[in-house]
């Protein structure tokens, strides 16, 4: 990803497929998952967590598959709209640079 940097303190959770990706994002972003994640964190200066610990975090799968699918699809749609909004904003900033700021 251009313009981004990372270090060894990143762990990615890679979903098996798109049918669970948005749901996982919603779950890991929720206030319910936060204490489940932070219980494994260690380190005095820099918070650390490893892949084995992340794999121990329980993710509840819903019995009501249509609700889980709706959560998943809504999150993926929102993510797509965020990406579209970011790209449009970058396009507007480029026009601003070319036509206004650096036009003379």
The ranges assigned to domains in the chain are 18-101
**What integer pLDDT is reported at residue 45 of this predicted model?**
86
The structure tokens 């892949």 sit at 51
pLDDT at position 1: 60
Reading phi first (left if > 0) and then psi (alpha if -120 to 50, else beta), residue 70 is in: alpha
pTM, entire model: 0.79
pLDDT at 7 (0 to 100): 78
One-character DSSP codes across the chain: -TT----TT------SSHHHHHHHHHHHHSTTHHHHHHTT-B-SSS-B--HHHHTTS--PPPS-HHHHHHHHHHHHHHHHHHHHHHHHHHHHHHHHIIIIIS--
Residue ranges, the chain, pLDDT below 50: none
């Amino acid at each position: 990803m251009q313009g981004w940097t990372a270090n060894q303190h990143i762990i990615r959770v890679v979903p098996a497929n798109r049918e669970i990706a948005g749901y996982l994002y919603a779950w890991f972003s929720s206030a319910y998952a936060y204490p489940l994640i932070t219980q494994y964190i260690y380190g005095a200066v820099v918070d650390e967590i490893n892949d084995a610990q992340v794999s121990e975090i329980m993710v509840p799968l819903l019995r009501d598959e249509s609700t889980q699918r709706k959560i998943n699809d809504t999150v993926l749609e929102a993510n797509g709209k965020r990406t579209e909004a970011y790209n449009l904003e970058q396009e507007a900033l480029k026009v601003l640079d070319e036509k206004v700021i650096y036009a003379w």
